[in-house]
Amino acid sequence: MDEEVFELSATMITVEVKDDRTGKVYRRELPIDYYETANFLKLSGENMDGSVSQIVFFTPRGIERVQDITGKGADHGREHDHDHGHGHE
């Protein structure tokens, strides 16, 4: 039985694109760091000047977690209980 995979990572990716105009398929191997979890997908690489550039794509689960961490998510637990009964005095 295969073990469950919780994250994926690689230092090289293969991109395959089909040109809209010609229908021809092109494949390229690119030196891009790839990191994926249930919360996000991150692509990292160097710009022409050698500085690092990153793109992060969040999954719905990842967006919910970011909202919870920043206090913008739904109220849960004890914070909600502290407000109970206030404003009726």
Question: What is the value of pTM for the model shown?
Answer: 0.63
Q: Is residue 1 part of a domain?
A: no
What distance in Å separates the CA atoms of residue 14 and residue 30, rounded to the nearest whole number?
Answer: 6
Q: Is residue 2 part of a domain?
A: no
For the record, the structure tokens of 54 come out as: 């990153």
Q: Is residue 3 part of a domain?
A: no
- The total number of structural domains that make up the chain: 1
Q: Is residue 72 part of a domain?
A: yes
CA atoms within 13 A on the CB side of 1: 2
Binned at pLDDT 50, 70 and 90, residue 2 comes out as low
Residues 70-80 pLDDT 10s: 887 666 555 54
Residues 21-59 pLDDT 10s: 999 999 999 999 999 998 999 999 999 899 999 999 999
What distance in Å separates the CA atoms of residue 24 and residue 14, rounded to the nearest whole number?
Answer: 16
Under a CB-based contact definition with an 8 Å cutoff, are residues 34 and 10 in contact? yes
Domain that holds residue 63: 8-78
Under a CB-based contact definition with an 8 Å cutoff, are residues 9 and 35 in contact? yes
Q: Is residue 35 part of a domain?
A: yes
Q: Is residue 49 part of a domain?
A: yes
Q: Is residue 87 part of a domain?
A: no
